[in-house]
């Protein structure tokens, strides 16, 4: 839960905007820059940022701060040049259309100790699938971001998020104004440019060396279109983390329809790491790995899972999250957030651990120019949207893909498909079917046999770069604590 922001900061109005390239040391050419929004500290109301599914511990307890800002300016929309169609190869050629005023908000998380900052800022396009703003990338990877010193900015880029935010605290957010999702792409560009030009305000003086774009699900869907259409015109971002995207891309204008499976353009020029759960796998994302594209398909994962729906909200990185993750394999919940009731227990897979490794891999790729090794894809048998089919092993876990102890030393059959209920949401939550006592006894005659096998599989995943070393140790420690045999 949030603490109120510092009174001094809240009292200050930082009306900064429209600065030219002489005001900063950014090396990008003027014609590839976005406009810079005006920035002011968010004030009033409840005195804290309003977010759906927010972390349930204070940032200062883990050495971080949380501050909220109001960004405002004039954003443009884009349309295909000359009425061209938007091709499925992502080689889109667009131009500016009309413009409109906007006022939105951004929530900034950063280290309290400036010396801990690693130089990388992630701007997350907040997800609005539920009708409210949420930051799933932050939820799933906050432990990695905090221990490695990243800054993350959660941006309200879309109209639905702004509208919902205004209802959550009408006093604090009275000024918010969104002209429609046609303008969301330029709003996202301007937020990234603000990081580059006004880190003195947004980051309290921290100096960013890399600015990354990230988005999950519906946000990744929009970032595909952003990368294909806007990035060649406004090169604000140094790389993209796209989590759980389906095959299509989002429209540029609300009346448009981008039909067909859409790839990321091959000439983007910056790294893209595409992270797909079993729920999300589709043919469009299976474009060949290149010097700027990597695909990670992760066995045993779902679009949303136990970590995102509970464990992640209370996980402070002390190792208890790994214990809860193993316990969930043995006794998975079927209810999320206390009110979404699924017909089957939901997925308790390893997404948070592998996604944290993906953040690290992308950041190192941008720093060094060396991409991570190509990863095996899942052994898909069909590409039905939200319910692809897979070849599975004797315990019911998918074959191929990125491997972890969750599927190679199984306590349950994990799937990204097969659930129902929850007014349609549970379709995305996958399933967990714990193995029977007899199956566990056959696989692991003793607790130590399980710990030994789990340790070996975890160390192998760490060696491949698919689990971070600190998370690997936490998972090994958890295996020694959780009694898996009756």
Q: 292 φ, ψ to 5°?
A: -125, 15
Is 280 a member of any domain? no
Q: Residue 272's closest CA among 361, 139, 386? A: 361
Q: What is the pLDDT of residue 26?
A: 43
Q: How far is CA 153 from CA 61, 215, 218, in A?
A: 19, 11, 18
Task: Give residue 478's Cα distance to chain centre.
Answer: 25
Indicate the pLDDT class of residue 22, thresholds 50, 70 and 90.
very low
C-beta of residue 69 within 8 angstroms of C-beta of residue 39: yes
Do 217 and 329 fall into the same domain? no
Assess whether pLDDT exceeds 90 at residue 18.
Answer: no
Cα separation, 270 vs 234, in Å, equals 13
Q: Say if residue 486's pLDDT is above 80.
A: no
Mean pLDDT of 18-41: 64
The answer to whether residue 277 sits within a structural domain is no
| 319 in the same domain as 194 | no
- Write down the pLDDT at residue 28: 46
**Inside any domain, residue 282:** no
**Does residue 240 lie within any of the structural domains?**
yes
Res. 20 pLDDT band, cuts 50 70 90: very low
102 belongs to a structural domain: yes
Q: How far, in whole angstroms, is CA 133 from its chain's centroid?
A: 13
Q: Within a domain: residue 281?
A: no
Mean pLDDT of 102-131: 97
**pLDDT tens readout for residues 424-449:** 999 999 999 999 999 999 999 999 99
Enter the tokens of residue 141.
């990877």
For residue 2, what pLDDT is reported? 38
Burial of 311 (0-12, 13-18, 19+ CB in 10 A): buried
* 254 has a pLDDT exceeding 70: no
What integer is the mean pLDDT of 409-419? 99
Mean pLDDT of 48-63: 93
| Pairwise CA distance, residues 245 & 228, whole Å | 14
Same domain, 226 and 341: no
CA atoms of 150 and 345, how far apart (whole Å): 34
Rounded Cα distance between 108 and 337, Å, is 25
DSSP-derived secondary structure for 459-483: HHHHHTTSS-HHHHHHHHHHHHHS-
User: In this structure, how many other beta carbons lie within 10 angstroms of the beta carbon of residue 18?
Assistant: 12
- Percentage of the chain exceeding pLDDT 70: 92
* pLDDT class of 4 with cuts at 50, 70, 90: very low
Report the pLDDT averaged over residues 38-48.
96
- Same domain? For 233 and 318 the reply is no
- 315 has pLDDT over 90: yes
In angstroms, the CA 353 to CA 360 distance is 11
Domain assignment present for residue 296? The answer is no
- Whether 193 and 44 map to the same domain: the answer is yes
Mean pLDDT of 78-89: 90
- Boundary residue ending a domain (249, 270, 291): 270
Whether residues 340 and 478 fall in one domain:
yes
In this structure, the answer to whether residues 309 and 432 fall within a common structural domain is yes
Residue 373 is classified by DSSP as: P
The sign of the torsion formed by the CA atoms of 288, 417, 243, 125 equals positive
Beta-ladder partners of 275: 243, 296
Confidence of residue 3 (pLDDT cuts 50, 70, 90): very low
Q: Are 334 and 480 within one domain?
A: yes
Residue 102 is predicted with a pLDDT of 99
Place of tokens 């100790």: 113
- Residue 9: is its pLDDT beyond 50? no
Percentage of the chain surpassing pLDDT 90?
86
**Domain final position from 253, 270, 287:** 270
| Under 8 Å between Cβ of 102 and 70 | no
* Structural domain total, the chain: 2
Query: What are the pLDDT digits (tens) for 290-309?
Result: 999 999 999 999 999 999 99
Cα–Cα distance, 213 to 240 (Å, whole number): 5
Question: At 146, which helix (H) or strand (E)?
Answer: helix 136-148
Q: What is the average pLDDT value for the chain, to the nearest integer? A: 92
Name 96's bridge partners. 78
Domain check: are 396 and 479 in the same one?
yes
- How far is the C-alpha of 267 from the C-alpha of 250, rounded, in Å? 19
Which pLDDT band, with edges at 50, 70 and 90, does 30 fall under?
low
Are both 202 and 324 inside the same structural domain? no
Q: Are residues 353 and 234 in the same domain?
A: no
Residue 415 belongs to what domain range? Answer: 303-486
User: Per-residue pLDDT for 52 more than 60?
Assistant: yes
Using the structure block, give the residue that is written with the tokens 């999250």. 321
Q: Is residue 197 part of a domain?
A: yes
Kind and range of the H or E run holding 111: strand 94-111
Query: Do 231 and 326 sit in the same domain of this protein?
Result: no
């Amino acid at each position: 839960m949030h603490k109120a922001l510092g009174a001094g900061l809240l009292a200050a109005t930082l009306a900064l905007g429209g600065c030219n390239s002489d005001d900063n040391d950014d090396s990008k050419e003027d014609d590839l820059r976005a406009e810079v929004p005006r920035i002011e500290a968010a004030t009033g109301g409840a005195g804290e940022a309003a977010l759906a599914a927010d972390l349930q511990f204070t940032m200062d307890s883990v050495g971080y701060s949380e501050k909220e800002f109001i960004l405002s300016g004039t954003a443009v929309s884009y349309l295909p040049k000359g009425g061209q169609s938007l091709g499925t190869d992502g080689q889109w050629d667009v131009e500016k259309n009309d413009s409109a005023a906007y006022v939105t908000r951004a929530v900034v998380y950063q280290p309290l100790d400036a010396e801990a900052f690693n130089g990388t800022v992630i701007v997350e396009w907040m997800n609005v699938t539920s009708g409210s703003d949420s930051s799933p990338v932050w939820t799933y990877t906050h432990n990695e971001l905090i221990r490695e010193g990243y800054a993350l900015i959660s941006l309200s880029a879309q109209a639905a998020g702004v509208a919902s935010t205004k209802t959550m605290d009408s006093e604090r957010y009275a000024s918010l104004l969104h002209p429609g999702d046609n303008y969301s792409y330029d709003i996202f560009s301007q937020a990234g440019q603000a990081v580059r030009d006004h880190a003195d305000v947004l980051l309290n003086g921290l100096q960013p060396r890399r600015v990354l774009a990230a988005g999950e699900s519906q946000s990744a869907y929009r970032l595909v279109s952003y990368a294909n259409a806007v990035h060649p015109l406004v090169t604000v971002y140094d790389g993209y983390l796209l989590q759980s995207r389906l095959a299509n891309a989002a429209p540029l204008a609300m009346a448009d329809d981008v039909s067909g499976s859409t790839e990321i353009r091959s000439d983007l020029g910056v790294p893209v790491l595409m992270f797909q759960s079993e729920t999300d796998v589709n043919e469009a994302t299976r474009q060949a790995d290149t010097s700027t594209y990597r695909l990670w398909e992760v066995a045993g994962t779902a679009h949303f899972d136990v970590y995102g729906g509970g464990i992640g909200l209370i996980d402070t990185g002390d190792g208890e999250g790994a214990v809860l993750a193993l316990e969930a394999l043995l006794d998975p919940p079927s209810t999320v957030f206390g009110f979404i009731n699924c017909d089957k227990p939901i997925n308790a897979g390893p997404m948070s651990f592998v996604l944290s490794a993906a953040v690290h891999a992308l950041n190192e790729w941008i720093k060094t120019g060396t991409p991570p090794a190509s990863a095996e894809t899942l052994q898909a048998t069909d590409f039905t949207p939200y319910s692809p089919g897979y070849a599975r092993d004797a315990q019911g876990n998918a074959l191929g893909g990125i491997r972890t102890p969750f599927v190679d030393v199984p306590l349950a059959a994990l799937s990204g498909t097969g659930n129902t209920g929850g007014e349609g949401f549970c379709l995305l939550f996958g399933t967990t079917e714990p193995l029977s006592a007899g199956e566990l006894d056959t696989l692991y005659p003793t607790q130590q046999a399980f710990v030994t096998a789990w340790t070996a599989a975890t160390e192998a995943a760490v060696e491949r770069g698919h689990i971070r070393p600190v998370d690997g140790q936490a998972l090994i420690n958890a295996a020694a604590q959780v009694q898996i045999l009756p």
